[in-house]
Amino acid sequence: MRRQWQYIIIFTFFIVASVFFYFFLFNEEEADVEVANNNLEEDAKKDEEAVQDDREKDDIELTNINIDYIETDVQIAYQEGQEEVANELIAKQHEYLNELAGWGNAEVLSFEELVESKQWLQLKDDIQWLYEEGFDHSLVVNDMMSAEQFVRVAEAGDRMSIRYIHRIFHDLDASINERQVDRVWGVTNAFGTNRQQQEVVNYLSNTQ
Q: Which tens digits make up the pLDDT trace of 43-79?
A: 545 455 444 444 444 344 433 457 889 999 999 999 9
| pLDDT for position 207 | 79
Do residues 95 and 38 touch, judged by C-beta distance below 8 A? no
Average pLDDT score, the chain: 81
Among 37-41, 104-108, 129-133, 138-142, where is mean pLDDT lowest?
A: 37-41
Of residues 124, 190, 115, the one with CA closest to residue 156: 115
pLDDT above 80 for 192: yes
| pLDDT for position 35 | 46
Instruction: Give residues with Cβ within 8 angstroms of 9, minimum separation 6.
Output: none
**SS3 (DSSP) at 45:** helix
